[in-house]
Amino acid sequence: MISESNIKTLNKLIEHAKENNKINPTYYDLYDIKRGLRNNNGTGVLVGLTEVGSVHGYVIEDDKKIPREGKLFYRGIEINEIVNGFQEDKRYGFEETIYLLLFGKLPNKKELDDFNKLLGSMRNLPSGFNENFILKLPSKDVMNLLQRTILFLYSLDDNPDDISINNIVKQSLYLIARFPTIIAYGYQAKVYNYDNKSLFIHPAREDYSTAENILHMSRADSKFTRIEAEVLDLSLVMHAEHGGGNNSAFATHVVSSSGTDTYSAIATAVGSLKGPKHGGANIKVRNMIDNIKENVKNYSNKEELKKYLKQILNKEVFDKQGLIYGMGHAIYTISDPRAMLLKEKARELAIDKNAVKEFELYENIELLTKEIFLEQKNKLICANVDLYSGFVYSMLNIPQELYTPLFATARIASWCAHRIEQILSDKKIIRPAYKNVSSINKYVKLKDR
């Protein structure tokens, strides 16, 4: 318990923190600061090269951003082609995607089989690890648990700081293989400790894919249907990579450039992805939907819904941050190809599960937010990958606690790929500049203050 007098001290410190950390907003223009590492025309400042993936949402003509339909490529192959490829063969695609992102080529049948076997053999945690580091130390937040569990794994690695590529590839594969196990057990520990539910620990199965293992380990009865595993697998594929400049990949580049170990780098990326403007938006979307349902009597009525969305944007309601989660993107303008694919999946599942009214709420949020941005800011905005993903998960009976951890389980593939690329190709430590705009102050002796 914090004492009354310490509360007073704390409140005073908070006031100092607020008073003394505000930079005059006009300085940003004066010194031509690339806020958010963006150029004046909204494009990202070019800070690196990559062959892992690329994201297209506009073209530049006469220094102006001209909106285009979104396209996403993994190692030069368009995402829709990858999806069509494994769906036509009626097989899972996430492991093939990890292979492609990490090793830069599509695996042949034997290479893919061998890779699946290797990942399968790496999925279980070291003996006693779950008991000591997860079940005894639960967290209400599975992303928080994931982040520190990665750091605990450092302590059990005999050679954690070796950043030779031989060692990094091995460490990366262990982490990629173990993320499903960690998030499933982290979820079990959460519901057992905080929600008074029974505890079930199912060992990972070597013969199961990543998606199958997640469903098997996170469910009490360990049962799932082929359709459920296929939809989850598709979602993992679509969340796996998004270029070098997205916040968590860039965070990986930044910390990897200092020469730090794999566990520190990946824990950093998890911390970045958790943010509500990045991967954490999927859980925010869910909360926003619940809030809308509570506060908009007839949420099927577009006028009523639009009025409430405007109140969200004006910071009057919901979390008062002024954001409509699941909408907008740093690169996509007209469309995010993943959101379009997920939307179609969501529509199919909603018809099947009698949830069309809820699907229409998501669709109306998309349409009306676009309308509001055009009317108020003359700005094109589109749904991003986080808008429909949570809805799809809810129809697969995947708990909310796992929404962002599932994103991390997919995205770790590209964090590892970007880290390897950074270490092999760009040896310079990332160190941009901050201009100091404070006055010169004299040190005053304690007795004179």
Ligand X SMILES: CC(=O)SCCNC(=O)CCNC(=O)[C@H](O)C(C)(C)COP(=O)(O)OP(=O)(O)OC[C@H]1O[C@@H](n2cnc3c(N)ncnc32)[C@H](O)[C@@H]1OP(=O)(O)O
Q: Which residues are catalytic?
A: 329, 386
42 binds, among ligand OAA, ligand X, none (CB under 5 to 8 A by kind): ligand X
Whether the CB-CB separation of 364 and 304 falls below 8 Å is answered with no
Smaller CB distance to ligand OAA: residue 247 or 287? 247
Interface with ligand OAA in residues 316-355 (CB under 6 A) = 330-331
Size of the site for ligand X (CB under 6 A): 19
Smaller CB distance to ligand X: residue 203 or 322? 322
Smaller CB distance to ligand OAA: residue 241 or 358? 241
Per CB under 6 A, the list member of 385, 396, 413, 416 interacting with ligand OAA is 385
Per CB under 6 A, the list member of 178, 190, 274, 278 interacting with ligand X is 278
Cα separation, 218 vs 204, in Å, equals 10
Which position's Cβ is nearest ligand OAA?
246
Shortest approach of ligand X to residue 209 CB, angstroms?
Answer: 23
Smaller CB distance to ligand X: residue 60 or 227? 60
Stretch that binds ligand X, among 4-12, 115-123, 379-387, 436-444 (CB under 6 A): 379-387
Q: Does 242 bind ligand OAA (CB under 6 A)?
A: yes
396 binds, among ligand X, ligand OAA, none (CB under 5 to 8 A by kind): none
Smaller CB distance to ligand X: residue 219 or 286? 286
Ramachandran region of residue 37, left (φ > 0), alpha (ψ -120 to 50) or beta? left
Interface with ligand OAA in residues 92-121 (CB under 6 A) = none
Which tokens is 363 given? 């669709």
Per CB under 6 A, the list member of 54, 130, 218, 246 interacting with ligand OAA is 246
Interface with ligand X in residues 42-81 (CB under 6 A) = 42
Kindly list the distances between the CA atom of residue 343 and the CA atoms of 154, 340, 362, in Å, as whole numbers in the listed order. Answer: 39, 5, 9
Per CB under 6 A, the list member of 386, 403, 414, 416 interacting with ligand X is 386
Shortest approach of ligand OAA to residue 57 CB, angstroms?
Answer: 9
Stretch that binds ligand X, among 88-96, 194-202, 316-324, 441-449 (CB under 6 A): 316-324
269 binds, among ligand OAA, ligand X, none (CB under 5 to 8 A by kind): none
Shortest approach of ligand OAA to residue 264 CB, angstroms?
Answer: 20
Q: Does 327 bind ligand X (CB under 6 A)?
A: yes
Smaller CB distance to ligand X: residue 213 or 369? 369
Smaller CB distance to ligand OAA: residue 178 or 278? 278
Q: Does 234 bind ligand X (CB under 6 A)?
A: no
SS3 annotation, the chain: CCCHHHHHHHHHHHHHHHHCCCCCCHHHHHCCCCHHHECCCCCECCCCCCCCEEEEEEEEECCEEEEEEEEEEECCEEHHHHHHHHHHCCCCCHHHHHHHHHHCCCCCHHHHHHHHHHHHHHCCCCCCHHHHHHHCCCCCCHHHHHHHHHHHHHHCCCCCCCCCHHHHHHHHHHHHHHHHHHHHHHHHHHHHHHCCCCCCCCCCCCCCCHHHHHHHHHCCCCCCCHHHHHHHHHHHHHHCCCCCCCHHHHHHHHHHCCCCCHHHHHHHHHHHHCCCCCCCHHHHHHHHHHHHHHHCCCCCCHHHHHHHHHHHHCCCCCCCCCCCCCECCCCCCCCCHHHHHHHHHHHHHHHHCCCHHHHHHHHHHHHHHHHHHHHHHCCCCCECHHHHHHHHHHHCCCCHHHHHHHHHHHHHHHHHHHHHHHHHHCCCCCCCCCCCCCCCCCCCCHHHC
Q: Does 324 bind ligand X (CB under 6 A)?
A: yes
Q: Residue numbers of the site for ligand OAA (CB under 6 A)?
A: 55, 242, 246, 330-331, 384-385
Write out the residues near ligand X by the rule CB under 6 A: 42, 277-279, 281, 313, 322-330, 381, 384-386
